[in-house]
Amino acid sequence: MSSLPIRWPEITLTSAFDLIAIFLIALILNRFLRILTRLIVKPATSQSRAAQVREQQTRTLAGVLYGALSKVVWTVAVLTAMRQFNIDPLPALTVAGLASVAVGFGAQNLVRDLITGFYIVLEDQFAMGDTIQVGDTTGRVEHLTLRRTVLRDTRGALVTIANGEIRTVSNLSRDWSQAFVDVPVAPEAPLGKVMQALEAASAEMRNDASWSQALVDGPRILGLQGLDRSATTVRLQVRTAPTRQDEICRELRRRIQTEFQRQGFSLSVVQRIELANVPPSSQETAKPEAAN
């Protein structure tokens, strides 16, 4: 039984030294790239949000650049080493190119996620700790990478969203938040005194040191929002520190209720009577009787 001869590449002492030199040069270049890309990073000099975001942006950019350039260095090193074994790198490059195309078709979503994540960080659309809304999901950003964004929603659940799926995002943690408080009062209540009571409650809150630090503007009265036979609705506007609008509105409503009780005003009370388990014919008969 004949066996096919196996021809191993001949490694001479010179070839071995060349391989070691190629490896050392690639290693040194790789280390140099690591140092060079670290120079891009701008460490935060303060605890301000702008400084923290800037550091995160530069770290992400440095990581992407280092990963790309490092792959180029080692690819060139491998191709150069193949020459030492008298191996033509062209077939290997052809196979690698075809494999890259095949993998690219299969990993389109992954590539899309990475590109979108890179722009999210680079453009500072949101950062860790921000409260954002993506589609129907609202939550605090617990984790952010180039591939995915992890939110903690109002239920306490962790929601993982692929960055490529993010089309429109609302950042609720930037600059300030805004809310409106509608106060329905009885139609017979004197509107002038109602306005005075609302202004008194608003001024009291603005002058309270424990709450004024969370206020950006207001509370201020915008005017009548609705007017009908059942209620007169007055609208107030308040701008707060990011994500503080809910607690501010709850406290404002409490102070308004207290002020109304002190001045003897009442909120609108709309009574609604529903007939249950009554045939439609009986309801139609009851309507004329109620009218009479």
Question: String of b and e for 217-230 (b: at least 16 CB within 10 Å)?
Answer: ebbebeeeeeeeee
Query: Where do the domains of the chain lie?
Result: 13-106, 124-171, 177-263
Work out the end-to-end distance of the chain between its first and last CA atoms, rounded to an integer number of angstroms.
116
DSSP string, 72-87: HHHHHHHHHHHHHTT-
What pLDDT, on the 0 to 100 scale, is given for residue 270?
46
> What does the mean pLDDT of the chain come to?
78
- What is 124-171's CATH topology? SH3 type barrels. (2.30.30)
Q: What is the pLDDT confidence band of residue 271, given thresholds at 50, 70 and 90?
A: very low
Q: Specify the DSSP class assigned to residue 165.
A: G
The SS3 call for residue 256 is helix
The SS3 call for residue 225 is strand
Distance CA 89, CA 79 (A): 6
Distance CA 240, CA 244 (A): 6
What is the percentage of the chain residues whose pLDDT exceeds 90?
A: 15
Phi, psi of 199 (to 5 degrees): -65, -35
CATH number (3.40.50.2000, 3.30.70.100, 3.10.290.10, 3.30.420.40) of 177-263 reads 3.30.70.100
What is the percentage of the chain residues whose pLDDT exceeds 70?
A: 73
Q: What is the pLDDT confidence band of residue 227, given thresholds at 50, 70 and 90?
A: confident
Beta strand ranges found along the chain (DSSP E): 131-134, 137-144, 148-153, 158-162, 169-171, 177-185, 215-227, 232-240
Q: What is the pLDDT confidence band of residue 76, given thresholds at 50, 70 and 90?
A: confident
Q: With a cut of 90, say whether residue 161 has pLDDT above it.
A: yes
Stretch (H or E) spanning 194: helix 191-206
Most confident of 56-70, 104-118, 236-250: 236-250
Q: What is the pLDDT confidence band of residue 180, given thresholds at 50, 70 and 90?
A: very high
Q: With a cut of 60, say whether residue 288 has pLDDT above it.
A: no
pLDDT tens digits, residue range 2-61? 454 544 455 566 777 778 888 888 888 888 888 888 887 777 666 666 666 677 767 777
Q: What is the pLDDT confidence band of residue 159, given thresholds at 50, 70 and 90?
A: very high
What pLDDT, on the 0 to 100 scale, is given for residue 274?
43
Q: With a cut of 70, say whether residue 158 has pLDDT above it.
A: yes
- Between 6 and 90, name the one with better pLDDT: 90
Task: Name which of 183, 174, 245 is nearest 214 in CA terms.
Answer: 245
Q: What is the pLDDT confidence band of residue 104, given thresholds at 50, 70 and 90?
A: low
Cα atoms in the 13 Å half-sphere on the side-chain side of 158 = 7
Count of other CB atoms within 10 angstroms of residue 80: 16
Q: What is the pLDDT confidence band of residue 273, given thresholds at 50, 70 and 90?
A: very low
User: Could you tell me if 232 and 190 are in contact, meaning their C-beta atoms sit under 8 angstroms apart?
Assistant: no
Q: What is the pLDDT confidence band of residue 150, given thresholds at 50, 70 and 90?
A: very high
Q: Is the pTM of this model over 0.85?
A: no
Task: Name which of 121, 136, 41, 24 is nearest 80 in CA terms.
Answer: 24
CATH number (1.10.287, 1.10.10, 1.10.357, 2.40.128) of 13-106 reads 1.10.287
